[in-house]
Structures are given as structure tokens and as C-alpha cells.
Amino acid sequence: MSSSGEGALPIPGAPSARRSSTRSAARPPAAAGARAARRRQLGVRAIALGYLALLLLGPVAMIFYRTFEHGISPVLNAATTPSATHAFWLSLEIVAIAVPLNTIFGIGMALLLERGRFWGKAALGVLIDLPFAISPVVVGLSLVLVYGKTGWLGDWLAEQGIQVIFSVPGMVLATAVVSLPFVVRETMPVLRELGVDAEQAAETLGASPWQTFLRITLPGIRWGVVYGVVLTTARALGEFGAVSIVSGRIEEQTQTLPLFVQDRFENFDSTGAYTAAVVLALLALGTLLAMNLLTRITRRRTEA
Amino acid sequence: MAAGRRAGFGGLRLTARGGSLLGKGLLGIYLTVLVLLPIAALLAKSSTGGLDAFWREVSNPEAVAAIKLTLIASVIVVAINAVFGTVIAWVLVRDEFPGKGIVNALIDLPFALPTIVAGVVLLALYGKDSPLGIDVAFTRAAVGLALLFVTLPFVVRSVQPVLLELDLAMEEAAASLGASPLTVLRRIVLPTLAPAIISGVALSFARAVGEFGSLVLITGNLPFKTEAGSVYIFGQIQNENLAAAAAVSVVLLLAALLVLALLTLFLRRRSQHVL
Amino acid sequence: MAIEVSHVSKRFGDFVALDDVSITVGDGALTALLGPSGSGKSTLLRIIAGLETPDQGEVVIGDEDVTNAPARTRGVGFVFQHYAPFKHMTVHDNVAFGLSVRKRPKDEIRDRVEELLGLVRLDGLAKRYPSQLSGGQLQRMALARALAVQPQVLLLDEPFGALDAQVRAELREWLRRLHEEIHVTTIFVTHDQEEAMEVAEQIVVMNRGRIEQAGAPRELYESPSNEFVMSFIGPVNRLGDAFVRPHDIQILAEADGTGTEALVERVVHLGFEVRVELKLHDGREIWAQVTREVAQELELREGQILSVRLPAPRVFAS
């Protein structure tokens, strides 16, 4: 029985946490206890890594293998078909519109929620978080119910000659909805930590509200915003369900890359499907990299 | 001093955005167009025809099967996540091994990966041409598998920061008072982690209940067998039964919100004692 | 610029921060707003700055009614307790901020910043970032920044509160000298009566949103108008309704019939001063303050019984 106070689960072999030095000092040389603890540690590590291997790493590795199994040229061919390239650019186009919109909204909303004083902030927060709790399919449905032909604004939109559902605007809308909360949620704590002092100092020095925002607030929150933008972009690129419903899935017109994957799969074009999947997986891995780097940058800054 | 600070927090002096009426108006319009109107329309559609129509749509056998499948699968998956998520968080915080950084980063993969790709990816390893010889395609197990994949990050990411902050002195104090490692775990560590686990569970559940993309390919969407609630809704939309789709949507939405609300309440009550 | 605050009141919800407060600060004066937490001193300062608006009353700076004018039009320099540095800008850019916002030409800015950095003795640190500076340096930078735009009024909100005792003492001295050089009307907020006494020419003592007394430090010390002011400024013994200053208590070398008997409970040597805790024969406990020399002369020690002469106690009408 280990009396080093570490608990039943692993004692780190090497100093990972900051308190490690006290921990190793506290551990008595009881050999049997230490061996049992080490076995437990390895056991738990095996369980965790095994689970991750089966659920996460294995499948992802598999897809890369399957895609490039027959060499690189079938992949390149699949990647350069007109449908594939169209799907790719359409995805980027939608992201290029939805993400900036959500970013502006996100910063504005964060400022409002953090700096403003009014009743109903909680309700506002719930509204913003709603896209987290709703199925993308439900998002698509509710958009159709408002902006579709038979929707609330259906007639009015038809009169204006604007088509939302079954065309790109609707897809942008759906993408924006599902990726709405990220910039807000990531910016708010940074804004809170920044505090109002610097902004007030700028004000006493004669800066207008806009000058204060551009030169003091924005630089202060930029890493929170960037992180939020990364999350938003990842979510937007990968959106499937909501976009599927509002797009009509017409090939080469309203197919984003995720929709393209499904289409190829259903048409038994596994190479095409895997290729597109790999492209998306690579973009996802890029996102992870960005997230990781940003976390490290912000951590370094707060420790400075 | 406190009063001064409180006033400083933006009585009148909001910075540029959000300060002007125009700014607030634009934010409001954006939120309305994206969230408020659609949700209102959803609720309205689900209740056209009154309670009877709602009930009729929802008690349709196929719908019931789909909802049941979704709820039961989500509960099972979330329970598994509570355990494995905590274990994984533990290993990532307390253990040390080569490649730990990469593993830690990869936890977020299910979040960053498009759901349809998740389905393709799982199919590659556990589908027809699986090298492991396991074929769960078109089975209920596939539903569970897909949900486990997409909900992986929630409990892990929820527990990790709490674990990092966990004051080792507490555990050492308990041990010095004679507690066995198991007791320390049971009476010191887990209770401290409980709020984080619960919060991760709530998020997992909401996500699982609404999951769609990863199920589409791997489950085959067989009615009464592997058709999840979200897939049923999708089908109804394809068939232009928007009222039916809306009704079932509301049911799933309520389930997710109910769980979120219950767990939040539970957490709040707990924290009143703990703090 | 003289400052005139008339009948200003301010509440935050149910909390009354200021209740009908009026003060006058002369042109070029160095004034302290002194009081405990919650006394309203910071709120008053922020109202003068324009960072808050009063519910009632007026603020006049010079001969302009600025009650409803926003902070940036008032020409006030404000220094925060935690410096409020612009963390993403260099020291130079921090100090230059007010000037660059006014779109002054680059050369003018550069010269002025250099001048100011010299004044606050931060020369050579222009390219550093706030995270690389010490607390004292940050506060001097904040001062330079506020002075850069030549404010008519300089306001400091507990400017030395976050600093070490040593640094605090240095900066106090430095602020006083700065004021002698640049005769800007200056108001600073503090809860440290020693600081107020040492630095300010005029002290406004506040408590619970009201002004207790305003005047020169000596005046407040020697002629406090009520018990709050007396106990807040300078040490005090309270005997029922009466107040006695510790250093006014005379310890007699020999009983001569004019004093009262007292038991020495404790003798604390605080460097130059010695604090003698006494118990009078009726059980009341007081403490006296004597110099080292006196303590040595009297050979003060615990358990000693001696005679003390109390001065005429001060009693305030309630």
C-alpha cells in the first residue's frame, strides 16, 4: 500500500507536474508498495491508450492507409475531378463568409456581455449557446421553416428574388448558425481578464471609443479571438447535417466537401470518398496544430 | 474601491462595439436571423395542429424506435465516457510517456473532424473490409461506436483542468491520516472531479442526442434497428413531413436541454456545499 | 485649474457611495482624499475624472462645468492603482499614446516622450515592455503617460497601494518633488493616513460617502472635528468617550501625586519609538509612546508600577 499520498492511480515516473519534487521526496522506499503502484500506473496507462488506439488512432491511421493503398495517382485523380474541386472551393467560399461574420458578431457580443449592464444577459447567453445543444439536422429544419419556400419568410424572399434554401446563401446561414458560439465563448474570459482599467486610461488620454477599441481592446483580446476563429473555422468546414438539409445536395452546385464525401460513398466511389475524407482530415489535423500552438502561446504570455 | 470597480464595468462607458445603439441593433438582428427566428419557427411548427397532432407524430412507431435508440445509446455512451474520459484525463495529467503531447492534441480530433469523415474513418477499421475482421456496419453497435467517437473530447477536456489544479496536498493529507489509495480515490479525488465529470457528461449527452453525420454511413439507417432520432428527422424532411420532423426535433431538443438543466442545477447545489 | 465639486451624490443600486459631497481644490494644490474602504473617495475621484457621472451635483474644473462631459474632453490625467499599462505596447508607445491619439507629429511626440521619460527617470527603458518593468517603474510610466498630454488636473487612485513599502516611500517623496516642479492641480486617493500627512498640502477625510473634515495635515491632527478624524489620523487611546494621544501620556520618573498609578504590561521596542502598554488601576488599558531615551532613563520593564499623567482628554459631542 503506497503511503506517498498519490492515490490508487498512477504516480508519475518523471516529474511532470510542478509538485513532483515534493512527491518523490514523500515517497518511502517501500519496494513492494512502489512496484504495485508502478504496475497500476502502467495498467491504467494501457487502458487509456488502448481505448484511444481503438477508437481514435486506429481508424484515422486506417483511413490514410486505405486512401494511399494503391498509390498516390488515383488519389490525385480523384482530388482533381471537377466535382471534387468545386466542392472544395465551395466549402472554402462558405467558410470565408461565415467565419468573418461570426467573428465580428462574436467580438461584439463578448463586449456586450462582459462590459454591458442590462437585464437578460443569461437569456442571451443561452441563445448563443443553443447551437451547441441542437442537432445540426434540427438547425437545418428550423432554417427551412423560416427561409424555405413554405417558410415564414418564404413568400417575402420569393418576392425579393432571393433564394436562400437550396442555394449557397442558405448554406452560409446554416454554417454560421452551427459555428456561432465559439468566438463569443473564447473572447469573453480574455475580455474579463483584460479588465477595464487600460480602456479607461485610454479614455482619459483622449482616445475616442473607436480608437480605444482598435488600439487597446482588440490587441488585448487577440489571442482569444484567434483561438475562437480557429474553432469556428474547423466547425464550419466540417459541417454536414445542417448544410445537407438546406443545400438540396445538387452536385457541382451545392455540394460542400463533406457532402461530397457522402455522395461519393453512396456511389461506391471509395477512392473519391477517401480522398475527400483525407483532405478534410488533414485540414482537421491542421486545426489541431493551430489550437495546440495557440494554447502554448497564450500560456507563455500569461506566465510572462 | 469595489463600488468604483463595479461602476467601471460599463455603466455608460462601453467601448466602441456594443456601445452604440446601432451596434447593439446589428448584433440583435444577426442573432434573430440565425437563432431566434428559426427556433421560434421550429416550436411553432411542432405545435401546429395542437397537442394531438404533436402526439401523433411523436408516437409513430418508427419515431418512437428512433427516439428510444438515440436516448438509450446516448445514456450508455455517456456512461462509458464518464469512466474512460476520466481515466484518459488522469493519464494525460498525471502520467508521463513519450508522445504524450501528441496524444493530448489528438483528443480534440473528433471535434475538429467533420462528422461524415468520422463515419468513413470508423467504417474503415470496423466495417466491411476491416483488417480486424470486425464488421459492425449496420448494427446498433455501430451507433454506439460513432457516438463514442464524437463525444470523446468532452469529459476529457472537462476533467483535465480540474485535475491539474487538484491540490496534491489533499491527497497526501488523506494518506497521512491512514487512507488507502482506493479510499483516497473514492473520497477525495472523485468527489473533487465530480462536477467536471458531470459537466462533461452533460455536454456529451447533448452532442450524442443530436449527432447525425457520423451515423449516416456506418449504421445504414435501418428503421427500427439502427435509425437514430436525427436520421429519422432527416428522413421526414426529405419526405416533406416538416411537422413530423419538427415534433420529433422538439422531443430531442427537450431531452438535451432537460439533461443540461438538471445537471447544471445539480452542480450548482453541490457547489453551494463545497464552497 | 481649481476644482469645485458641489453637492455631489452617487449611488450604486442600494449602496450610497457619495452623499451630498462638496469640496474645493485650489489651483496647483496637492490634495489627498483620505478614508477607509467604502468611504467614497475613489468614486469621488472618478467623478472628477469623468469616469463616473454623479446622480446629483456639479463638477467644475477651471470655470467649465464638466459634470456631464466625458472623460476624454476634460483634460484630466488619471493614474490607476494597478497602473493600467498597455501591455502590448512599449514604454515609449505607452507614454506617447495620448499624443498619438491627438495626431501630433512624430518628432514632437518623440521629443516629448524623451523629456518625460527623463523626468520620471525611466530613460533607456523606452523600448521595454510593461511585463519587463517593476511596479515602481510601471507607476512612473503611468505618470509620464498621464502628464504627456499636459493635463490641467492630475488624479491618482491609490497610486502606491500595490507597491512595496520601500518603493512606496520613495515614490511618495518623488511625487511631492514632482509637484513642486510641475504645479499641476493634483488629487490623490489613499487609505494610508501617513501617506496623506506626508505628501499632501490639504487632506479631505472621508467616511461612508461623506466628508468628515478638510484642511491642512497639521490642522486635522491637532484639531480634529470629530472622533472619526481623530482616530483615523494618528494613533489614539480611547477611554470611554474621551480620546488621548499616546505620546501625550507622560510617564513620570517619580510619583508626585499628580499622576495615576499604572502597571506596565508590555514594553515594545520599535526602533526609535517605544510603545508601553499600561493598565490603569481601574482596569482600563492604554498605551503610551515614548522615545528610546526616555524608556532607557525610566528603565521601563514589564511588571513595573509607575505613575502616569494623562492630558486633558478630548471629547466630541455626539
Mean pLDDT of C64-68: 90
User: Considering only alpha carbons, which residue of chain B is nearest residue C158?
Assistant: B1
Q: Chain B contacts of C12, Cβ < 8 Å?
A: 3, 6-7
pLDDT higher than 80, residue C40:
yes
Q: Does C37 sit within 8 Å of B2, measured CB to CB?
A: yes
Q: Please say if the pLDDT value at position A119 is more than 90.
A: no
Percent of chain C whose predicted confidence (pLDDT) is above 90: 47
Q: Do B6 and C38 touch (CB under 8 A)?
A: no
| Residue B2: closest C-alpha in chain C | C38
Q: Is C9 on the interface with B (CB under 8 A)?
A: no
| Ranges A77-91, A105-119, A289-303, B154-168: which has the least confidence | A289-303
Best mutation target among A194, A200, A204 (most C Cβ atoms within 10 Å) is: A204
pLDDT at residue B13 tops 70: no
Residue C53 is nearest to which of B2, B6, B12, comparing CB atoms? B12
Q: Which pLDDT value is given to residue B85?
A: 95
CB contact set of C65 (below 8 Å; sequence gap of 6+): C58, C59
Whether residue C72 and residue A219 make contact (CB cut-off 8 A), yes or no, is no
CA distance B192 to C301: 54
State the average pLDDT over residues A241-258: 81
Q: Average pLDDT, whole number, for chain C?
A: 89
Closest residue on chain A to C69 (Cα): A204
Q: Which residues contact C141 (CB under 8 A, 6 or more apart)?
A: C83, C85, C91, C94, C95, C120, C122, C130, C133
- C102 touching chain A per CB within 8 A: yes
Contacts of C84 in chain A (CB under 8 A): 197-198, 200-201
Task: Return the minimum-mean-pLDDT range out of A108-112, A211-215, B9-13, B160-164.
Answer: B9-13
CATH 3.40.50.300 fits C3-231, yes or no: yes
List CB contacts (< 8 A) between A236 and chain B: none
B252 touches chain A (CB under 8 A): yes
Residue type at position C288: A
Question: If pLDDT is split at 50, 70 and 90, which confidence band does A302 have?
Answer: low
Q: Provide the pLDDT confidence category of residue A252 given band limits of 50, 70 and 90.
A: low
Going from N- to C-terminal start, the domains of chain B cover 50-274
B93/A contact by beta carbon, under 8 A: yes
- Is A9 in Cβ contact with B90 (below 8 Å)? yes
If you search the block for the grid coordinates 473555422, which residue do you land on? A233
Which neighbouring-strand residues pair with C56?
C9
The pLDDT score that the predictor gives to residue C317 is: 67
- For chain B, helix (H) and strand (E) counts, in that order, are 16, 0
* All cell numbers assigned to B172: 497526501
Q: Indicate the burial class of B227 (C-beta count within 10 angstroms; 0-12, 13-18, 19 or more).
A: buried
Phi-psi region of B221 (alpha: psi -120 to 50; beta: other; left: phi over 0): left
For residues C172-199, average pLDDT: 91
Residue A31: the pLDDT is 58
pLDDT at A11 over 70: no
CATH 2.40.50.100 in chain C is located at: 240-315
What is the rounded CA–CA span in Å between residue B274 and residue A127? 29
Is pLDDT of A22 > 60? no
Q: Return left, alpha or beta for A37; rule: phi > 0 is left, psi -120 to 50 is alpha, else beta.
A: alpha
pLDDT at position C43: 94
B176 touches A at CB < 8 Å: yes
What's the gap between Cα B174 and its chain centre?
34
Instruction: Tell me the per-residue pLDDT of B232-273, one tens digit each, with 9 for 90 and over.
Output: 999 999 888 899 999 999 999 999 888 888 887 887 777 666
Residue range(s) in chain C whose domain bears CATH number 3.40.50.300? 3-231
What percentage of chain C reaches a pLDDT higher than 70?
Answer: 99
Q: Which residue of A has its CA nearest to C151?
A: A205
| Residue C141 near chain A (CB below 8 Å) | no
pLDDT tens-place string over residues B14-53: 444 345 788 888 999 999 999 999 999 999 998 888 888 8
Q: Is the pLDDT reported for residue A45 higher than 70?
A: yes
Task: Note the pLDDT tens digit of each residue in B63-112.
Answer: 999 999 999 999 999 999 999 999 999 999 988 889 898 999 999 999 99
- The residue type of C132 is Q
Record: contact A274-B115, CB cut-off 8 A: no
Average pLDDT over residues B184-210: 88
Nearest to C215 by CA among C203, C205, C225, C227: C203
With left for phi above 0 and alpha for psi between -120 and 50, is residue A100 left, alpha or beta?
Answer: alpha
**Which region among A26-40, A205-219, B170-184, C142-156 has the lowest average model confidence (pLDDT)?**
A26-40
The 10s digit of each residue's pLDDT in A30-40 is 556 678 878 88
ipTM: 0.85
Instruction: Indicate if the pLDDT at residue C278 is higher than 80.
Output: yes
Read off the pLDDT of each residue in A156-162 and give the average, rounded to a whole number. Answer: 87
Residue C305 to chain A, least CA–CA distance (Å) = 53
Task: Provide CATH code, domain C240-315.
Answer: 2.40.50.100
CB contact (8 A) between residue B256 and residue A265? no
pLDDT at res. B145: 93
CB contact under 8 A, C43 and B7: yes
Considering the entire predicted model, what is its pTM? 0.81
The pLDDT of residue C238 is 83
Q: Which three cell numbers stand for residue C72?
A: 476624454
Neighbouring chains of B at 3+ CB pairs under 8 Å are A, C
Given this model, what pLDDT does residue C239 score? 80
Answer whether residue C127 shows pLDDT above 50. yes
Closest-CA distance, B231 to chain A, in angstroms, reads 8
Class of domain B50-274 (CATH, top level): mainly alpha
Higher pLDDT, B177 or B159: B159
Mean of all residue pLDDT scores within chain B: 85
> Which of the two residues, C194 and C313, has the higher pLDDT score?
C194
